[in-house]
Amino acid sequence: MKLDRLISILVILLRKERVQSKVLAEMFGVSVRTILRDVDAINLAGIPIVTYQGMNGGIGIVEGYRLDRSVLTGDEMATIITTLKGMAETMPDNRHEVLVEKFKNILPPAQLEILNSKLNQLIIDPSPWGENKHFKQKIAMIRKGIESFKELEFAYTDSIGQKTTRRVEPYSRVLKGQQWYLYAWCLFRKDFRLFKLSRMEKLIVSDTTYKPREISVEELPWKSKWKESENRISLELVFEKELESIVEEWFREDVVKDEDGRILVKASFPENNWLYGFLLSFGTGVEVVNPSHIRKILAEKSMQIYRKYSIET
């Protein structure tokens, strides 16, 4: 992209006093004439570029003029680069990696060494465990739909197991609660919806383009409440003390211990098949105190599991 090339040229000129246009042309795989047009565009943007003649000539920024590199502190730069590296782990797109290198190239060697030590203090990787090519393919296709304003089609299974075919206008990829979602206008529901990526199958980018709708950042559902919140129920749970570390990982500040070391938890979740499976995953280490109908559902599912595995083969 031209914008990427312009930024890259500017970063190079910040680091070096002079660069020959032929060298830049070979570096970016374009003609010398294209490089000269790019230099004119940078000049028009307010950064004075000059061409030096002679054996040691080339393109450079006017002497005495330099962009202020101290706009961002070392900690701020480390935070930006750490976040970008985390996104690069998830997105099958080298633009984040290129941007990281551009930030690094702005810094002199002494500051770069300090920056590298700070980058090791925090690592962000939102991608799922293991090699998940299918997940990255979904992310790439969704990005393509968003950037080109193309409708997406996919088969979707909701939280209660209903399967539908959806056609949507994609707007945002959302990472919330360690899960990836697509925020899109659903042509089936005639409203904005959040779609969990793990429930999307047979995803394709259609040839149909759409005109973007006006949306307010303040009204986005993950800023206020989830669509699933309509079916939320309040739970009272008692966990055995052996599960303390796992319980604190899931419920954090909602944890209270009694005199026997057991762990009391009050929490709210959407009632669906995921909730039943989640509670059953703790085995005999948890008891649902309330509501009573959840106790009955778990008892029935436990009996079904028992019958299935008690049959002799």
Contact 294, 279 (CB under 8 A): yes
Q: Is 126 contained in some domain?
A: no
* Farthest-apart Cα atoms in the chain, separation: 91
Is residue 127 in some structural domain? no
Q: What's the structural domain count of the chain?
A: 4
CATH code of the domain containing 146: 2.30.30
CB distance 182 to 132 below 8 Å:
no
C-alpha 273/C-alpha 160 separation (Å) is 6
pTM: 0.51
pLDDT, tens digit (0-9, with 9 covering 90-100), for 60-102: 887 666 555 554 566 666 666 666 555 555 555 555 566 666 6
| Residue 126 CB contacts under 8 Å (≥ 6 apart), including other chains | 86, 87, 89, 90, 175, 178, 180
Q: Residue 187 domain-assigned?
A: yes
Which of 134-138, 223-227, 291-295 has the highest mean predicted lDDT (pLDDT)? 291-295
247: containing domain: 230-310
pLDDT at 249 over 80: no
Residues 212 and 268 in one domain: no
* Same domain flag for 28 and 78: no
Flag whether pLDDT at 215 surpasses 80.
Answer: no
For position 258, what pLDDT does the model report?
79
Residues 47 and 86 in one domain: no
Domain annotation covers residue 124: no
* CATH, residue 11: 1.10.10.10
Residue 88: predicted pLDDT: 59
